[in-house]
Amino acid sequence: MQLIDIGVNLTHPSFANQREAVLERAIAAGVCQLLLTGTSLDGSEQALQLCEQLDPQGQRLFATAGVHPHDASSWTADSPRILHDLLKHARARAVGECGLDFNRDFSPRPLQEKALEQQLALAVELQLPVFLHERDASERLLAILREFRDQLPAAVVHCFTGDQRSLFGYLDLDLYIGITGWVCDERRGSHLHPLLREIPSQRLMLESDAPFLVPRNLRPKPKSGKNEPAFLPHVLQEVALHRNETPEQLAASTSANARRFFALPSILDTPVKATET
């Protein structure tokens, strides 16, 4: 049984000097392949470099490259060219993390929309899938995506935390849905439990979003306070429970989806550790 983590912020400073150990723990837990998330031009370049450094064989680590809506203020006339070059890297598998965040508004909304539209245009040009971020902006994101969707090969709304209306809007556009440890949070994630059953099996993927979103029902809690890809089997168990599937079934379908979406190579099977619940 294999798991693929489609979103890991391995470039985050909290992982400095620990990245090899984090990867080793992930593999030991059965997370056989990981997508490192690029959230800025510099961060995307670093993610691609980490793929080469930590996985010289090119079997386990791949990356996205893009500019997060929080960083949209940094988008300049040169950004599309720089990002285009990054996306031509052999380990680059998707455009993003890009999207809209109207919850924190760290960048002005018009700049968020401009950066998103130009990144979607790059995805169309290069025929790469898109790794999307959305907070409190589903209607506007859907409106922008409709202008590009027929030309995009695929897109995933990562770390989905929205309501039924936004979920159905994304599914109507034939998007993939990424689920994180948010679903394990009884304070703010329980509304996702019935929605999990509405996601077609061929459109669901799993992610840690590490070092963020430690599953709140994880026992024992990590002393570091950080999430890791090695905890993804715990998310698997929670999602499987609410979808009335076995963890084995869910691992097989989500990993197949991720491998297809990101054009990942096949890899020898590795066991997923049992998770206490």
d(CA 108, CA 112): 6
CA distance 241 to 133: 26
Could you report the per-residue pLDDT of 244-254, keeping only the tens digit for each? 999 999 999 99
Residue-wise pLDDT tens digits, 173-201: 999 999 999 999 888 889 999 999 999 99
Assign a CATH topology to domain 3-261: TIM Barrel (3.20.20)
Mean per-residue pLDDT, 152-181: 97
37 has a pLDDT exceeding 70:
yes
- Ramachandran bin of 37, using left for φ above 0, alpha for ψ from -120 to 50, beta for the remaining angles: beta
- Give bridge partners of residue 62 from the DSSP assignment: 35
Beta-bridge partner residues of 131: 156
Q: Whole-angstrom Cα distance, residue 230 to residue 154?
A: 27
Sheet containing strand 204-206, strands side by side: 3-8, 31-36, 61-65, 92-101, 130-135, 155-157, 176-179, 204-206
Query: Tens digits of per-residue pLDDT, 115-133?
Result: 999 999 999 999 999 999 9
Task: Tell me the pTM.
Answer: 0.94
What residue segments make up the domains of the chain, in order of their start?
3-261
Asked if 214 and 184 touch (Cβ cutoff 8 Å), the reply is no
Count of all residues that appear for the chain in the document: 277
Buried b (16+ CB within 10 A) or exposed e, 6-27: bbbbbbbeebeeebeebbeebb
